[in-house]
């Protein structure tokens, strides 16, 4: 009898092992982990999470090669997705479901945008009137009237590299080189800190404008980063600039199936799950990103701050990767530390 129970447990555990996926991720949200548990409940497929920073994870995947047990790689910037694709990390995937749900400029044959992020301007209404910002574009940020106004993080930050890469894509190298030189002279201080640090600099009055992704502001306002940051965020207002009339610069967090994935079918199921209404709603309500699918509304805290701003739905986010090396070079040449 005991032996029979042993056998049942043995076969059951084999079954469990087969139904799993190994997810490498650079996203650091507890809410993501809760979401993956829903996926397991619905499908019986366990999700093992290996989290870390983009470069070390990619290095590990490449070094392990064919023996890598990973199925998926989840990254937080289109430029990073592009460079991982170039380095041969991903397997080509075709999924009608994903093609239908994700607009073409937010995916490639190898990776798929899951959430969107807007990189925008924050200002201190006590120092700048909103009237001074009407119709302001990213291109206008080199204006002399913004001398020593702008707080932004360092040039090694991938979100900044993607922003500059988008200028190269839409205006060319020559324009972006001279734009960046002027832009740097409008910095309020030596770039330092993360996106929230830029918003804090505006809140304290040290800087008049900050460039940061919207979800950092959402996180601060929500109180998840403590009372002090919540109060600081309340002193600051968001402004959504245009780029060459295309709309606000959008980036993505996206995912791809690894080249040597042992469970590619389950991996695709997982990506499709992330694009369901319920999963998208869960993600944006917890992280304050923008949804990839239109049937989901961003959380009210986020819609309140942006109203119906125009997202750049034209620029293909792959171009951020294509130009990222040139962007970084231009930034360094301009003295952007
Ligand atoms: Fe981020």
Return d(Cα 335, Cα 154) in angstroms, integer: 11
Distance in angstroms between the alpha carbons of the first and the last residue of the chain = 70
Ligand 1 center to 184 CA (angstroms): 22
pLDDT at 138 (0 to 100) = 96
Ligand 1 center to 252 CA (angstroms): 10
Quote the tokens at residue 231: 């109060």
Ligand 1 center to 76 CA (angstroms): 7
pLDDT at 9 (0 to 100) = 47
Ligand 1 center to 187 CA (angstroms): 21
pLDDT at 185 (0 to 100) = 98
pLDDT at 12 (0 to 100) = 47
Nearest to 288 by CA among 26, 31, 35, 52: 31
Block residue for tokens 């962007």: 327
Ligand 1 center to 11 CA (angstroms): 42
Block residue for tokens 């996206």: 254
Quote the tokens at residue 281: 């709603």
DSSP element (H, E) containing 304: helix 300-306
Ligand 1 center to 215 CA (angstroms): 8
CA distances from 172 to 142, 163, 246, 337 (A): 16, 13, 16, 22
Per-residue pLDDT of the chain (337 residues; tens, 9 = 90+): 555 555 454 444 444 456 999 999 999 899 999 999 999 999 999 999 999 999 999 999 999 999 999 999 999 999 999 999 999 999 999 999 999 999 999 999 999 999 999 999 999 999 999 899 988 999 999 999 999 999 999 999 999 999 999 999 999 999 999 999 999 999 999 999 999 999 999 999 999 999 999 999 999 999 999 999 999 999 999 999 988 779 999 999 999 999 999 999 999 999 999 999 999 999 999 999 999 999 998 888 887 776 678 999 899 999 999 999 999 999 999 999 9
Return d(Cα 26, Cα 60) in angstroms, integer: 13
Q: Residue 19 class from Cβ within 10 Å (0-12 exposed, 13-18 middle, 19+ buried)?
A: middle
pLDDT at 199 (0 to 100) = 98
pLDDT at 4 (0 to 100) = 53
Ligand 1 center to 8 CA (angstroms): 46
Ligand 1 center to 52 CA (angstroms): 13
Ligand 1 center to 158 CA (angstroms): 10
Residue 171 near residue 179 (C-beta atoms within 8 A): yes
Backbone angles phi, psi at 164, to 5 degrees: -65, -35
CA distances from 19 to 37, 40, 269 (A): 14, 9, 12
Ligand 1 center to 18 CA (angstroms): 33
Ligand 1 center to 194 CA (angstroms): 9
pLDDT at 5 (0 to 100) = 52
Backbone angles phi, psi at 299, to 5 degrees: -60, 155
Ligand 1 center to 227 CA (angstroms): 20
Ligand 1 center to 288 CA (angstroms): 11
Ligand 1 center to 16 CA (angstroms): 34
Angle at 114 between CA 303 and CA 105, to 5 degrees: 90
Return d(Cα 221, Cα 232) in angstroms, integer: 8
Ligand 1 center to 223 CA (angstroms): 17
Ligand 1 center to 4 CA (angstroms): 51
Ligand 1 center to 54 CA (angstroms): 12
Q: Can you list the positions of beta strands (E) in the chain?
A: 20-25, 46-51, 72-75, 112-123, 150-151, 209-213, 237-239, 250-257, 290-291
The full DSSP string for 177-240 is HHHHHHHHHTBSS---S-HHHHHHHHHTTS-SEEEEEHHHHHHHHHTTT-HHHHHHHHT-EEE-
Ligand 1 center to 261 CA (angstroms): 27
pTM: 0.91
Ligand 1 center to 28 CA (angstroms): 9
Return d(Cα 50, Cα 97) in angstroms, integer: 26
Query: Please, what's the b/e burial string for 119-152 (b: 16 or more CB within 10 A of its CB; e: otherwise)?
Result: bbbbbbeeebeeeebeebebbebbeeebeebbbb
Ligand 1 center to 37 CA (angstroms): 23
């Amino acid at each position: 009898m005991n032996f029979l129970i042993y056998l049942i447990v043995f076969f059951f555990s084999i079954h469990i092992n087969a139904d799993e996926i190994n997810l490498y991720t650079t996203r650091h949200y507890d809410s993501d982990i809760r979401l993956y548990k829903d996926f397991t409940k619905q499908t019986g497929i366990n999700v093992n999470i290996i989290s870390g920073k983009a470069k070390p994870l990619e290095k590990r995947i490449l070094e392990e090669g064919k023996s890598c047990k990973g199925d998926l790689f989840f990254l937080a910037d289109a430029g990073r997705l592009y460079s991982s694709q170039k380095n041969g990390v991903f397997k080509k995937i075709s999924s009608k479901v994903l093609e239908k749900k994700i607009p073409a400029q937010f995916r490639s044959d190898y990776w798929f945008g899951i959430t969107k992020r807007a990189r925008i301007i924050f200002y201190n209404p006590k120092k700048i009137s909103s009237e001074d910002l009407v119709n302001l574009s990213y291109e206008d940020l080199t204006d002399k009237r913004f001398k020593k106004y702008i707080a932004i993080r360092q040039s090694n930050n991938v979100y900044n590299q993607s922003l500059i890469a988008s200028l190269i894509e839409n205006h060319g190298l020559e324009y972006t080189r001279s734009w960046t030189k002027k832009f740097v002279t409008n910095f309020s201080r030596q770039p330092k800190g993360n996106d929230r640090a830029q918003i804090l600099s505006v809140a304290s009055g040290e800087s008049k404008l900050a460039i940061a992704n919207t979800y950092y502001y959402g996180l601060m306002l929500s109180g998840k980063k403590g009372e002090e940051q919540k109060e600081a965020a309340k002193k600051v207002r968001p402004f959504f600039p245009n780029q060459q009339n295309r709309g606000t610069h959008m980036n993505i967090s996206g995912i791809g199936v690894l080249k040597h994935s042992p469970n590619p079918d389950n991996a695709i199921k997982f990506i499709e799950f992330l694009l369901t209404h319920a999963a998208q709603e869960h993600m944006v309500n917890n992280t304050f990103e923008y949804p990839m699918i239109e049937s989901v509304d961003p959380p009210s805290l986020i819609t309140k701050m942006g109203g119906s701003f125009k997202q750049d739905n034209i620029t293909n986010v792959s171009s951020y990767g294509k130009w990222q090396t040139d962007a970084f070079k231009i930034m360094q040449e301009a003295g952007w530390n």
